Structure 1
Amino acid sequence: MILDVLWSGAFAQIRYSISEEVEDGTVVGNIAKDLGLDKSALQDRGYRIVAGSAEPLFQVNQNDGVLYVKGRIDREEVCERTSPCLIQLKTVLENPLEIHYVAVEILDINDHSPVFPEKEKRLEISESALAGARFQLQAARDNDVGQFSIQQYRLSHNEYFRVEVKDRGEDRKMPFLVLQKQLDREAAGKHKLRLTAVDGGKPVKSGNIEIIVEVLDVNDNSPVFTKELFSATLNENVPVGTVVIQVNANDSDQASDSGTPSLSSNVTVNVFILDQNDNAPVILYPVSSNGSAEGVEEIPRNEVTDHSLFGLDRYTGQIRTLRSFTETDEAEHKLLILVKDNGNVSLSATATVIVKVVEPKEAFAASDFHVVASDSGTPSLSSNVTVNVFILDQNDNTPVILYPVSSNGSAEGVEEIPRNVNAGHLVTKVRAYDADMGYNGWLLFSLQEVTDHSLFGLDRYTGQIRTLRSFTETDEAEHKLLILVKDNGNVSLSATATVIVKVVEPKEAFAASDVKSSTKADEDNNVTFYLMITVGTVSALFLVSIIVLISMQCSKSTDYTSKYLPEPNYDGTLCHSIQYRSGDKRYMLVGPRMSIGSTIVPGSHANTLMLPDRRGMSGEVFVNI
């Protein structure tokens, strides 16, 4: 780029400009062209550079007079902060002799960031300093010049200080820290600020320094207690003279106030009397009229479980079977249950539960009708049998959540627990039921969503939500738990419930809510226990009936083939029936594929099943519809 060409007689002075850090070989200008010389004149007259302090930075093509950059040019190295930065060259033309002067100005680019002489600056300011007080700070330095030098200073947001800048010329700006609001050492003894120097480049470049303000104390405070409220716990029956609590007070300026007159303060001290373990547990169930804890429970023999016979949940008191009963098992079992508390000197009570193993009761007969089997002889011989129809449950009911539930019908509840509870604390219990029977009505609970998996656990059988660990100061004050309740049908149906757990600060030394929650959980556990026994019994009966029917089908005679005498009204809907024999009885299992609109009315000819009389028929025929 040509800035100017000046002629003085036979001499000319040419001025170019070029940015620093350009690539090697970048053209600065064509000296011969700017002097009005052609290539032949250059070759005949021997054009060359003969002088220049920075001559190695540039080179002239002897053939065409083009001036180009020979190496890397760093303006800050060549000229430091001198402005403008000029490189003087002298060119010579011989035959006849001509001397021309060339000046190349190196233009600055924004290739340096502002830098402070220190990374951290500490200031000591008395809390008695008035608003408006100014404190000089060290300026940052930027090797770039002009618009690329430091243009402004910025201070991190705070309520006590702001920054002012004074222009000292020559790209020098001096920052000052100005106090906006009187300091209070007792409120904040130290302030951390960040001062940022910004240049004028696009994009801008910046540098930072940390400013730490130490607030010097002034004796401006009276003694105060370390707490607004002191709390202490005391065991009942402690001896007279026992130390209850030590209250502490201090002065924000020094340890004690020796002023005249002496200043004083008041504080409230709450003393909570802690319970001692002087009461033995009382067993509510089982209990007999004479006060001894004993109860009798009956369970069906075909209960399906695993492992050994009985198990006891040590927290809920639920007794479960752990394997299926066999013919060799005793019909009556006596269980001695020990209940004890967690006192330093543990107190306990015992209860006896007698478990009687009884034969299972199949299900109620919804209806019955007669089936007649006749042959084709003359006269026709026949036999009949009574058909008992049992209604098998289908999984057509969605679980219903009893708790939690709100007024608009959505399952949601809010529980509050103190922050100082330990692991295993019962938060609440999700209660639900299913109108279906057997496995279709057996409910399982699962935790679908939770804000912190390390805090809460859910019992999949009882729906109890308990804490997995103690709360810390960093834990959130509110947690959302999404509970899924589903049944055990082939196509499982489900419902969801949301429990909001709010963690509150304890208002008393001992949480009475723990006692209330435990009592409530025990009552719920009893209901759940009986419900589980009932559902388990019905489910087991259903499973056993299916197994028996399949076994009988597998063992039927291979030489027996079913034949049907078609009726005029027969529509082929019983084509999936199965016949089998056990001993001297024959059985027929009819599948559920009966046509829409077909009915079976006892006594009518249309619902009579005709079977060939190959052998005598007796017993019962079970039809599954």
Structure 2
Amino acid sequence: MAVAGICNWIGNNVPFYFVIFSLFCGLSFGQLRYSITEELENGALVGDLAHDLGMDIRKLSTRKIKVTSNSGKRYVIVNPKNGKLLVNERIDREALCDLSSTCLINLEVMVENPSEMHHVEVEIVDANDNAPQFPRDEYQLEITESALPGSRYPIENAQDPDIGSNSVRMYQLSTNDHFALVSNKPSLNTKHIELVLKKPLDREQTPYHQLILSAVDGGTPEKTGTAKINVRVLDSNDNIPTFDNSVYKVKLLENSPKNTLVIKLNATDLDEGTNAEVYYSFSSYTPERVRQMFSMDTNTGEIRVRNNVDYEETNSYEMYIQAMDKGPGAVASYCKVVAEVVDVNDNVPQIVLSSLSSPVREDARADTVVALISVTDRDSGANKQVTLEIPAGLPFKIKSFRNYYTLVTSAFLDRETTDAYNVTLSATDGGNPPLSSQKTIQVDVADVNDNPPRFEQTSYTVYVAENNAPGASLCTVKAQDADIKENARITYTVLNDNNHGIPVTFVCVCEGRYRGGLCPASL
């Protein structure tokens, strides 16, 4: 076909294909350009070479048309029977041309009989076959809770191998109260998109935030890629340790062994790390004597007994405790611990004899006070309640008024029966088990002249020889008195000392020690 003829033929057929054909008259080559979308199926039509080159389809078999490419890949082939250019392999524009704005496959078409060579460009048009993708599926951000609103945090842009309107068009951030995007449009000047802090963070309220960042392309239909943004809120020392109570009351048995646990305090700090590590100590308000009695573990908050606790010395202790964290700018919080010492029955009653009236006249009336007694017990409560008793069978009894007691007579005494009493006072407290003490006092009975002298016989008959010399003994009489001392001293008197004109006298002759210290008389 003549060159002019070919030109006329091409001019008439250009509207049916997107074809550019150039012939330089007098030369044996020309150029065609086709445009196809990537990812077409094998066998899809690229263009009709025979038609566009003005070749007689009936002579194609003898002209041996063939297509070659410098890439070595046979993305397209020509059907030798009809001269149509067809897709032979999957064409992935992104693999073939990366991010170039124009992607061409250069082909050389060779025809024999006569020999001709034509250059063919196949433009690969982008299809929206890729979704935007972030370099990582998850991003980890650590932001201190003291960060100010307006602070910015960059995140890598999403990448989309597609180009033009099929590439990333906008970004979206999941709904939340604290973060927003500085701009939702991709920028050519940076490879990052920035988050901006809208509202202050509070680690104690929400220590973690999870956001979803989406990248949307402009294809039809649009495709979306997402990435998780995990925000860990870093602690600032914005909380002080807090006790559960401002005042703790505990009971502590007196005489508790050393190292006995009094209380374990717990102050909580909502911060974390060293900002939440609490150490405890006695504040300056705690007296030194209390510090000597108790120890404080600065790490655990345990207060333990350090020295002997004696209820009788102090029945309660007040300790003022401060707790501080180990973070910068730490501020102390305070509480008070009141340790009430519980009495243990560790003191025996003390019996004190205030006065004693001894001896007691044997004719003393009932309820005569013999002794005044006081009883004390250093314990408290039931441990302090004391009863005082004496043995049964004694002519005495106890009368009480509070912790004071009187020992009084309960009956007349008889010195001649019992001249002294050993009265054992027993004081017992109300503890469990009870403790008791004893004290013995001697009560002497004073004699009263309540017994007359008594002769051994009511009458005496004496036989006397006549002619006795004066002073001769006629007989011996004896009288006794149950009383003692002066009350038992006996004198004898002859009521009628003249018998028939003969005088009679008494002479005391001591024959030994007699009751009352007196001798019987000899007549």
Q: Structures share a fold, TM > 0.5?
A: no
Q: Which has the larger radius of gyration?
A: 2
TM-score, scaled to structure 2:
0.44
Q: Normalized against structure 1, the TM-score is what?
A: 0.37
